[in-house]
Amino acid sequence: MSDALSLLQQRHSAPSRQLGEPAPDPATLRTLLEAAIRVPDHGKLVPFRLITLRGAAKLKFGAQLAERAIRRHPELPESKREKERRRYTFAPLVVAVIARLDHDSGVPEIEQKLCAGNVAYNILLGAYALGFGAQWLTGWAAYDPEVATLLGLAANECVIGFVHLGTPQTDIPDRDRPALGDVLSEWQG
């Protein structure tokens, strides 16, 4: 079996709270992201862009998201408030994958979003191939207009996901996967 198929059969997400240093160094990250943006792109629109969050800026972003979460839901129990406060303190690097939609294009919006989603997935695959851990998260923040403003998104942009990257600090067991027979059928006409 090829190494590439073996990689697909073994890849799994590492929970962001179990990711720590090191993150990919700048040269490795550049190589990873250059590979990740090689995705199917109907119309060659490049309907995506990336924003990296690291260090003090990542922590500041996380703190602002926690404040926003509490403003949105003042009744939030303290345990969930603490979860929001800590969300961006674990993985040393987060890559926000942004869909940049061309509404005047003949390419359906869903295809443009799927293109950006492929970038996020390629980051997961590439990170795993390089020996790092990664988790693609969305949650409320991916859909919140104040978070979009905080990230400086244009009106035609939206968050596809926040990919948390780092080195797993513990062994990460794989989760149960569906049996192929449960999801595969053949159309008979």
Please report, in tens digits, the pLDDT of each residue of the chain (189 residues total): 688 899 899 999 999 999 999 999 999 999 999 999 999 999 999 999 999 999 999 999 999 999 999 999 999 999 999 999 999 999 999 999 999 999 999 999 999 999 999 999 999 999 999 999 999 999 999 999 999 999 999 999 999 999 999 999 999 888 999 999 999 999 999
Overall fold of domain 17-170: NADH Oxidase (3.40.109)
Separation between Cα atoms, residue 152 and residue 50, nearest integer Å: 12
DSSP string covering 55-116: HHHHHHHHHHHHHHHHHH-TT--HHHHHHHHHTTSSSSEEEEEEEE--TTSSS-HHHHHHHH
Separation between Cα atoms, residue 109 and residue 118, nearest integer Å: 14
Place of tokens 């780092």: 166
pLDDT, residue 3, reads 84
Q: Is the CB of residue 97 less than 8 Å from the CB of residue 116?
A: yes
pLDDT, residue 1, reads 64
Separation between Cα atoms, residue 169 and residue 138, nearest integer Å: 22
H/E run at residue 109? helix 109-129
What would the two tokens of residue 29 be? Answer: 């990250």
**The pTM is what?**
0.95
